[in-house]
Amino acid sequence: MNEEQQSLLLKSYSRFLPTQGVKLSYGTAGFRADASLLPSTLCRVGILAALRSLKTTSVIGLMITASHNKVSDNGVKIADPSGGMLSQHWEPFADALANAPSPQHLLMLINEFVEKEGISMDGVRPVEVLLGRDTRPSGDALLHAATLGVTSIVGAVATDMGILTTPQLHWMVRARNKGLRASEQDYFDQLSSSFRCLMGLIPTEKRKFDGMDEKVVVDGANGVGGVKLKDLGKLLNALVIEVRNSGEDGGVLNDGVGADYVQKEKVLPYSFGSKDAGIRCASLDGDADRLVYFIVPPEGSSKIDLVDGDKILSLFALFIREQLSFLNEKEDEKNYQQARLGVVQTAYANGASTNYLKQLGLEVNFTPTGVKYLHEKAAEFDIGIYFEANGHGTVLFSESFIGWLEARNNEISSGSKDSEGEKAVMRLLAVSKLINQAVGDALSGLLLVEVILQHMGWSIHRWNELYHDLPSRQLKVKVADRTAVITTNAETVVVSPPGLQEAINAETAKYPQGRCFVRPSGTEDVVRVYAEASTQEAADTLANCVAKLVDQFLGFNSS
């Protein structure tokens, strides 16, 4: 590293000194903490993003958000060249950099890392980082710190993309690296035009039907998603989107609102009530990468009927499977190779959803919790659909299948467009443009749900009846050291401490349709317990008994 480079890094170090005694970890979804602790972290993640851009010779994204956390928190995560999450093998470097206790340490870490990775810091190569932030008041100051970090690598450019949802920034990074148009307007144009295309392909007999409300009412979590959805909604004439909790009327981000609250508590978000009974409602999280739907019950109850990520996955799978079956019927003569459709869930997926998907004849795969794992698995298929029950998910199309669809679509453009096989090609191509290929996106997910419901002629009630969730219960247990829990088989089996899994198995066997697993949280200092059984009482008892087992094996008084 030359002198100019060294002095730039030292300057940025002294500009944002780390808070004594605070140790941060990149975690499942980046760094998160109280915003006041984060300026030095943001500066260092800016340095990391610039180095990642150097290494990959691509544009990198840096998103400032703490998603569903309280408004006083903030956080940061990196989008890789594909628009996906930061490559996992850079995470230890992110941790080390964020926690470097002195300027010498910082320089040494960077020197060692660039050498190991073969990164040349000659200031000649173009380096660009796109920065986005959500609506948190601390975003501005943290943006400033991140910008300083990026530009402390010689020749690096930090481009402020403004206030965005997390998936918008990931989409822009992906588009830029593919040489495509990548502004916010381009994002809105792509989503709205593919939505209109899909609406235009709805079978005529299904265009008018009873029992479906024209409008969807969306809880925007008082965050960035509601604001953006309002802008997007203006471009869609076939759908009325009413946004509540858009943050413009004084509501506090994620406070009694948002997808995380609605899904975990199963209660109504603020500003929804019995007047909304029976209508189609949806909720976004604070940075709009999660989506759940819900139904407000008739008067007198604050509990909701939750239509979660598992049901969104089921709806998408049904629709895509139907389109593929049209292709299979019609496309034999055109050397059509059957596309491989796979779905990906985690152990948190309700067992009823997994059974339903298997009954459809689909290949169901499981990965550990966390978007990066599901995304990676889904990318193995021609069409891979992944969702966590909490509403994170998307649909991925392989390059080769998109290529085939595009070629067929070009033939169709100049010929007949009438058969279901031809329409299926056009629909699938439109889905691949509507649904965010970089990362789960509540806005594009919402539009796909809406168009599929119209395609099927279904109300939210009909959709919700696809299957009935098994009763379940989630608990968390505080333990002395959560890293003592080691799991395998997509977190369904505990391998350490020895004996715990056997004890869980013995307990679970007592309950009809019982299923239970424990795993260390990636975001909180707890071990999580999930239990499912044929009745709510049984699920509650199973979860409680297993929580006690965890405490016996790992609690503060365990030996």
Residue 453 tokens read as: 């419901």
CA 417, CA 414: separation in Å to the nearest integer?
A: 9
Half-sphere exposure of 238 (CA within 13 A, CB side): 19
CB of 411 vs ligand 16G, minimal distance in Å: 39
> CB under 5 to 8 A by kind: which of ligand 16G, Mg ion, none does 194 bind?
none
> CB under 5 to 8 A by kind: which of Mg ion, ligand 16G, none does 390 bind?
ligand 16G
Binding site annotation covers 430? no
**Among residues 289, 422, 450, 469, which is the contact residue for Mg ion, using CB under 5 A?**
289
Residues 318-337 that bind Mg ion (CB under 5 A): none
In this structure, the strands spanning 291-295 and 341-345 are: unpaired
Binding site annotation covers 388? yes
Helix %, strand %, coil % of the chain (to 5): 45, 20, 35
Binding site annotation covers 459? no
List the 363-366 sheet strands across, edge first: 363-366, 341-345, 383-387, 393-397
> CB under 5 to 8 A by kind: which of Mg ion, ligand 16G, none does 513 bind?
none
> CB under 5 to 8 A by kind: which of Mg ion, ligand 16G, none does 524 bind?
ligand 16G
Among 57, 82, 80, smallest CA distance to 156 is for: 57
Contact status, residue 446 vs residue 216, Cβ threshold 8 Å = yes
Contact status, residue 452 vs residue 239, Cβ threshold 8 Å = no
In this structure, the strands spanning 472-477 and 486-488 are: unpaired
Closer residue to Mg ion, CB minimum distance, 289 or 310: 289
Residue 353, SS3?
A: helix
Closer residue to ligand 16G, CB minimum distance, 29 or 306: 29
**Among residues 67, 82, 168, 192, which is the contact residue for Mg ion, using CB under 5 A?**
67
CB of 467 vs ligand 16G, minimal distance in Å: 22
Reported in sequence order, the residue ranges of 401-491 that DSSP labels E, i.e. its strands, are 472-477, 486-488
Binding site annotation covers 203? no
> CB under 5 to 8 A by kind: which of ligand 16G, Mg ion, none does 287 bind?
Mg ion
> CB under 5 to 8 A by kind: which of ligand 16G, Mg ion, none does 285 bind?
Mg ion
Q: Is position 287 an interface residue for Mg ion (rule: CB under 5 A)?
A: yes
CA 442, CA 427: separation in Å to the nearest integer?
A: 20
CA 357, CA 317: separation in Å to the nearest integer?
A: 8
Among the residue ranges 1-9, 270-278, 283-291, 446-454, the one whose residues contact Mg ion (CB under 5 A): 283-291
Active site residue 67: yes
CB of 264 vs Mg ion, minimal distance in Å: 13
> Roughly what angle, to the nearest 10 degrees, separates helices 442-456 and 184-200?
10
Name every residue whose Cβ is closer than 8 Å to that of residue 222 and which is 6 or more positions away in sequence: 245, 246, 247, 251, 252, 253, 254, 255, 257, 258
Which phi and psi (to 5°) does residue 154 adopt? -55, 125
Binding site annotation covers 416? no
- Of 53, 67, 459, 472, which residue is the catalytic one? 67
Residue with tokens 């910082």: 106
Using CB under 6 A as the criterion, which residues of the chain lie in contact with ligand 16G when the complex forms? 28-29, 369-371, 388, 390, 392, 521-524, 528
Closer residue to Mg ion, CB minimum distance, 285 or 422: 285
How far apart, in Å, are the Cα atoms of 453 and each of 218, 258, 318? 16, 22, 11
Closer residue to Mg ion, CB minimum distance, 128 or 289: 289
Closer residue to ligand 16G, CB minimum distance, 8 or 527: 527
Q: Is position 450 an interface residue for Mg ion (rule: CB under 5 A)?
A: no
Half-sphere exposure of 209 (CA within 13 A, CB side): 16
Closer residue to ligand 16G, CB minimum distance, 166 or 459: 166
CB of 178 vs Mg ion, minimal distance in Å: 24
CB of 290 vs ligand 16G, minimal distance in Å: 8
Annotated binding site for Mg(2+): 67, 285, 287, 289
Residues labelled as active-site residues: 67
Q: Which residues bind Mg ion (CB under 5 A)?
A: 67, 285, 287, 289
Which residue numbers belong to the known binding site for substrate?
388-390, 519-523, 528
